[in-house]
Amino acid sequence: MSASPLSNAPAEGLDSARFAAHLSQRTTLPSWWLDAKKAAWNQFSALPLPSRTDETWRFSDLKGLDLTGFKLPEDAPQPHPKHAAFPQTAELVFSNREAITRSTMPADLAARGVIFAPLEEALREQGDLVRSYFQKHPANLGSEKFVALNTALTATGAFLYVPADVEIALPFVVQHTLTGQNLAAFPHTLVVLGPRAKATLVEFFVSGGPASERQLVAGVNDLHAAEGAQLTYVGAQHWSRETLAFQVNSIAAERDARVLSLNLHLGGRQARHESHSRLLGPGAHSEMLALTVADGDREFDQRTLQTHVAPNTTSNLLYKNALLETAKTIFSGLIIVEPDAQKTDAYQKNRNLMLSDDAEAHSLPGLEIQANDVKCSHGSTSARIDAEQEFYLQARGIAPAAARRLLVTAFFEEVLNKLENEDLHAALTALIATRFQA
């Protein structure tokens, strides 16, 4: 690796000097991109941190949003694999500041125009394509400041482009690893599926070092499914115990497109996830799923929006949280049905499994319906473990801790079962199980 200006930069925080250094390393990237980064930096600098009066931050721990003392990584150590292997089409592994591993994509897919590359490479080689989709439909759920920071400082993340009528069964896999105390990462992944294309992208987000590593992550995804496309997206984060993490998903589904997004939240000290689906063409469907294991005194903050723009569109949200110890979860979900979106069928459900009387689950469901012929509903439930089920397992000799683990896994199955790919299902189940081994 060549010496970079960053290594000479001071380490006080993410200041203008640091941004200037970041930019000066990227002079080979398109000028529109550099301009977008500058604009984003200015926006980040101008926007205030969330305050108590922001409805989109209700119940969140605002004191935890301290961005001081974080620095950009200067190297890219070899990370250890953190997830179970499963059959895949191609893989990209990012470590700290850059892509370090990249498997070769099958030649027939490359020949058909499929692109799977680090975002910065795509910016150089398919700049116009990236430009047409990058933040085309930004999420609007409260983290604008952190999304701006992501655009300004992003150096990692993948670009997946699948042209019309190309169907790919096995997943594309992206792993983001951040290793080092006080490091910050800003992954940005952009997925574009052409008409009637079909593909799955799985992203793993992990800390490479000890659980005590303090880190900052602000990640963003843009997911686009053109007419009739079928996109499955899985984002699984297992950040260190001391990570402040933001992940913002933006989903756009055109006519008859189907998007399934599943976010798995296993780590972080304070992890906020925002997901905004837009149903843009008739027949579009968005399946929004999330699973969270909340223990210790972690906070998981989830904000969602299902915007039905076109008629005859459907969306189904199911967010499940397992809460232990003194953990806190916040779910705030809104369904907006725009005036033209007649015959919308939208559903939203947040289910909390309370494994501790000291844990705290907040649920704020909402509807905003501007059309008159729609089916919309939402619900939230918080329940303890079923005592009869627990006794049944114990009566078979299974110790209380193992019995609870089985019942939490069972609670999550309803969501994992929605994945068509059984190998992926098994890999995610195994990843969740590692969460209970500590």
* Interaction site with other proteins (CB under 8 A): 386-389, 391-400, 402-403, 406-407, 409-414
Give every CB contact of residue 217 below 8 A, 6+ residues apart in sequence. Answer: 178, 184, 185, 186, 187, 205, 239, 243, 244, 245, 246, 247
Minimum CB–partner distance for residue 396 and other proteins (Å): 4
Minimum CB–partner distance for residue 320 and other proteins (Å): 11
Rounded CA separation 250/138 (Å): 6
Which lies closer to other proteins via its Cβ, residue 128 or residue 388?
388
Rounded CA separation 279/309 (Å): 6
Which lies closer to other proteins via its Cβ, residue 25 or residue 389?
389
Minimum CB–partner distance for residue 437 and other proteins (Å): 13
Give the residue ranges of DSSP H helices in 240-281: none
Q: Are 23 and 152 in contact (CB under 8 A)?
A: no
**What angle, rounded to 10 degrees, do the helices at 422-434 and 400-416 form?**
150
Minimum CB–partner distance for residue 190 and other proteins (Å): 34
Q: Are 6 and 20 in contact (CB under 8 A)?
A: no
Greatest CA separation found in the chain? 67
Which lies closer to other proteins via its Cβ, residue 12 or residue 391?
391
Which lies closer to other proteins via its Cβ, residue 164 or residue 398?
398
Which lies closer to other proteins via its Cβ, residue 257 or residue 403?
403
Rounded CA separation 423/28 (Å): 40
CA distances from 114 to 3, 199, 404 (A): 33, 11, 44
Which lies closer to other proteins via its Cβ, residue 125 or residue 414?
414
Minimum CB–partner distance for residue 285 and other proteins (Å): 24
Minimum CB–partner distance for residue 413 and other proteins (Å): 3
Q: What angle do CA 372, 376, 382 make, to 5 degrees?
A: 155
Which lies closer to other proteins via its Cβ, residue 218 or residue 318?
318
Minimum CB–partner distance for residue 202 and other proteins (Å): 22
DSSP string, 389-406: HHHHHHTTT--HHHHHHH
